Amino acid sequence: MDWKEALQKEMAGAYRATEKLMELVSEEMLTWKPSEGENWMTMGQLLHHIGTGCGGGFKGFVTGDWGFPEGMDTSKMKHEDVIPPAERLPSVSSMEEAKNMLQEDKKIAEQMLAQCKEEDLSNKIVPAPWDPSPAVLGQRLLQSIEHLKSHKSQLYYYIKLSGARVGTPQLWGMG
């Protein structure tokens, strides 16, 4: 199996499971967040982050465009500017917006992957703004999918902790 085929399969499963989990979130749940601890995103903030979390990474790694202002040196940014505290994160205002964002993110990821050559996925070294260590493009795109999967799991637990009925099959997109 080549990189492109493996990435397509991983991406399809991650988006499918995330879409199914999002069907379990009601408008009323958008302001919910865990009550214990601190620096928790609301459900709406988590959904916004999920809706930009994979395709944005693909675009950054494939094109080099991370959406930063020209001339910005990310290595000199403060930690809280790279990973801001929850209260500074944007939120979706509706489930329709969340679902549309996820579909757009998926479309961007698919378009970016379509532009990739198998040779580049295997050999082109690309840094991440948060990690300058060497890694091939295919590995970086896989990390973007893993980012989506991690937040998909977070969404699963948010739904579960909020009191809604959800089971392990939904985590894996089977329910």
The pLDDT tens digits of the residues spanning 145-170 come to 999 999 999 999 999 999 998 999 99
Measure Cα distances from 27 to 23, 47, 68, 77, 141 in Å.
Answer: 11, 12, 32, 35, 32
Distance CA 145, CA 33 (A): 24
Q: Are 91 and 46 in contact (CB under 8 A)?
A: no
**For the chain, which ranges sit under pLDDT 70?**
1, 72-82
Map out the domains of the chain as residue ranges: 3-25+40-64+87-171
Give per-residue pLDDT as tens, 101-116.
999 999 999 999 999 9
At the second CATH level, the architecture of 3-25+40-64+87-171 is Up-down Bundle (1.20)
DSSP 42: P
